[in-house]
Each structure stands twice: as structure tokens, then as C-alpha cells.
Structure 1
Amino acid sequence: MGPFAIAQPVVARGDIAANVARHLVLVEAAARQGARLVLFPELALTGYEPSLAAALALDAGAPALEPLREAAVRLGIAVVTGAPWKTAGLPRIAALSFLPDGTLQVYTKQYLHAGEEAAFAAGDGGAGLRLGGASVALAVCADIAHGDHAAAAAHCGADLYAASMLVSENGYETDAGLLRGYAREHRMPVAMANHGGPTGGWACAGRSALWDENGNIVIAAGGAGECLLLARRDRDGWHGKAIDPAT
């Protein structure tokens, strides 16, 4: 598949407009480097704020989303980010994919963490992305704790398993170990986008990463803080680098 980017933002609590504005900076930087996809963390448009989720929940007609839709079309890049999604009853935790043809695909998190059911309803997943002949399977945080989720992605021929996450310092080694194991077991590259700063009371680890199909690390953020990673694969294998959004 073509070059893609992993974004590690520091989000503003409940401030969708501010978070969209920062998304656009990172998306523009990724596109300048030739990326055809940029992956953001779980609930990156609002922060991980269960108590605010119902009030902040979005739908396909939300004006706040229009700048992301426009950027995807203008730049020819797919933008995958996260927000609470309006449904009958409690909102769902969604990965929203803004595609270069102007369409929006919605994936909803299938498995909730303990306690999330007070603010969110479990989702039903969704189709993967088709980008330039490549297939990208999506996952949101607790989805990765279920091995059959990654196995199903591999069975469907995913060229990339793209996980939008919130991973704390204490949980990082466990979650990274799962993702590394899926890459090795299924011979499937695995990307993880994590938050770069605190959200919802969690001290996030950052350290967003890509593992190749052998489970080897290609590129990873050194820690927390805003970061943008670029990955590409050619005949010599995988290559990764950090991108300065200002360049």
C-alpha cells in the first residue's frame, strides 16, 4: 500500500473546533509527505470524555465535520479519526473515515471496556477501507483485546490493521504486546495511533507505532506529546520517519 501517517495529537477536552483545527494541521503535513491515509486515536475529536459524550455526539450532517471532509477531497487523503456517534439511545464510539471521494464511512467500536457501558453503546464494527487497491481494517481500542477481531481482519485480506487507541502508561506494554503478536501471527502490518497527552483522567503513553508483518517495530513515537509518523513500504521493505508538522 502507499505511504500513510499515524497522528498522535494532544486533544483539547470537549473542544471539537479546536481539535478539528489541529487535525487539519497534521493532515496537511501528512499529505505534503505523500501520505494517502492518516490515522488518529480513539475519540480524537472530543477527547475521551464519557461524561460529555451524549452532548458532544455527532452525526453525518454535523457542520463541525465539514472541514475534514473538504480536506480529504482537496488533498486526496483518507482521514480516520474518532468521535461519539449519535444513535438511538447512548452514543457509540466511532472511527470516522473521510475519504477522497467525499464519502464518510463509519465504524463503531464493537467491544467496550468495563464501565464504558454507562456512557456508550457497543457498536457493530463496519467495513474496512479500500485505498488504491489496498485493504485497511479498522479497530478501536478494546476491540484489540479480542483475538478474533484481528483474525477476521487477516482472513479478509487486510493489508493493514489500523487501531485507534487510548493507551495509558500502565497499559502500554500489554496492548503493544497484543498488537505486535497479531502482526506476527497473521503476517499483517499493524498501526497504532495513541493520544499524546492526558484525556479523560488518563495519563496516555503516546508511543504510537507501526509493526511490520513479522512483528518488528518500523517506527514509534518516543513518548507522549504531539507527533506525526510517516510509513511506507517499497521493494526494500518498510521505512518510517517522524514528520515535523511545520515543514
Structure 2
Amino acid sequence: MKLCAAQLGSLKGDVAANVRRHLACIEQAANVGAAVIVFPELSLTGYEPSIARQAALPLCSPHLDPLQAASDRLGIIVAAGLPLPTPNGIQIGMPIFTPSAPRQAYAKQRLHEDELPYFYAGASTSLIQAAQHRIAPAICYESMFMAHAASAKERGADIYLVSVAKTAKGVGEGHAHYPQVARELGLIVLMANCVGPADHFVAAGGSAAWDSEGRLLGCLDPHSEGMLLLDTEAGTASIMPLDAPA
């Protein structure tokens, strides 16, 4: 099976423009045979906690219909990023669009202290089924705790799908931690980070893939948009330039 990590810079709060960019990435990923594509944390609005309440959309929003339509038409699972409203507060969500199936969402379970004024933690533990694989979603900060990945492994996951918004320091820490996750738990790890301005920092790319023995298969650079295509059967990852419009 092939999975794709899209390394994007999102336009702050502009869901319509970000959806268009996502659609171009989805099309490109499907054209090279990807069954799953994952985007960075809060990719549809940008990682911008201060505007999350105003930018939040429910999973049923018609603004998201084009993503479901692309999933249906191209036969690809899409894991994007979006603030999701709940009765308890706004969650850092990962809407999941599966071909010809109801929309689902995963929400970040462990929040960084900087996120607590803006977001409410999720409790979902569902896995994504794709071909013979069971994929566990993870969003940024929580993915740096081995217990989160261990719980996914206990529930039968064999792929850890990580969506992040990380600085250069955070990318470095991730590149040290995720191979350990892979080795200790026998999980394939695919991480998608953003690039460019986000909140009060600059995101530093470095989207990457590791096999279940912790070997780095491929990595994008810190500055450029692009896509990383992971082939789980061949145990390889290839870098693709991004065709998405600005």
C-alpha cells in the first residue's frame, strides 16, 4: 500500500483556498497510487489557535464536501486538519474522508500547555482501516509520548500516521523520537509537517517516513512544500514536488 504525506504551508483562516490546495494534493497523490494522504495539523485553517473558534467547522459542513467528493471519486482516504466544534469546546481535529463512507474525525487527546486556553482534548481512539493495514492517527504533541503509540499498537495498529505543526527544534525532537516508536513497537511511521508561518513560529517541514525497524526511508527539506510517498510493501519512500496551486 502507498501512503502520502503532504507538506504544505496553509493560508491563515482561508478554508476555501486551503481546500483547493488540498484537492490538488489529493489528485496528485491518487495519480501515483496512494491509498491514504495525510496533511499537517490544522491544515485547513493553518495552525492558528487564536482564530480557531472563529474558523472551526463541523464535520458535516458543506465547505468540506469537495474533500469527500475527491475521496469518493479517486478512491483515496484523506486525513486533513481542522478545528472542530463540540459542546465542550473546540478540538484540534483530523477529519477523515473515506470513499463512499460516512465522515469520521479524530481529535487530539493530549494538548500542549500553550493550547489549553483555546482547545478541548478529544477522547476518540478509532483506527483507520486501509487494505490490510490498521492506521492510528496522532496529532503533534501527543505523538511525542510513547504511551500514545503503545495504545495504538495494543488496538492492532501497524501504521502510525502523525500530523504535526513543528518548529525546527520540534522536528529535531520528532526525528529522534519516531524511529524509537518504530523500533520498539514495530510500527511504520509517517509524519506530515507544515512549512512557513504558523501561530507565533515558523514551521520547519522535515516530513518523513520510517519503517517498522526505525530506518528513515525518506525526508522532505525544512522549507519547501512537497509530498512524500511511502510504499509499505517495497519499504521505500520517494519525494515529489508539489503541483498544488499557490
8 Å Cα contact 2:140/2:164 also seen in 1 = yes
Which runs of structure 2 are paired with 1:41-190 in the superposition (5 Å)? 41-190=40-189
Within the alignment, does 1:38 sit opposite 2:41 as a pair? Answer: no
Alpha-carbon displacement from aligned partner over 1:166-191 (angstroms, at most 9, x marks no partner): 11012221122111110011111111
Aligned length: 244
> Structure 1: any 5+ residue segments left out of the alignment?
none
**Matched residue type, 1:192:** M
**Matched residue type, 1:112:** L
Secondary structure of the residue aligned to 1:101 is: coil
8 Å Cα contact 1:69/1:102 also seen in 2 = no
Over aligned residues, Cα RMSD in angstroms?
Answer: 1.3
**Normalising to structure 2: TM-score of the pair?**
0.95
Q: Equivalent residue for 1:228?
A: 227
Within the alignment, does 1:15 sit opposite 2:19 as a pair? Answer: no
**Normalising to structure 1: TM-score of the pair?**
0.95
Query: Separation in 2 of the partners of 1:146 and 1:40?
Result: 21
Query: Separation in 2 of the partners of 1:74 and 1:34?
Result: 13
Query: Separation in 1 of the partners of 2:59 and 2:169?
Result: 35
Q: CA deviation at 1:225?
A: 1.9
Q: Equivalent residue for 1:239?
A: 236
Q: CA deviation at 1:205?
A: 1.1
Secondary structure of the residue aligned to 1:215 is: coil
Query: Separation in 2 of the partners of 1:126 and 1:157?
Result: 12
Q: CA deviation at 1:126?
A: 3.0
Secondary structure of the residue aligned to 1:198 is: strand
8 Å Cα contact 2:210/2:218 also seen in 1 = yes
Q: CA deviation at 1:242?
A: 1.4
Secondary structure of the residue aligned to 1:102 is: coil
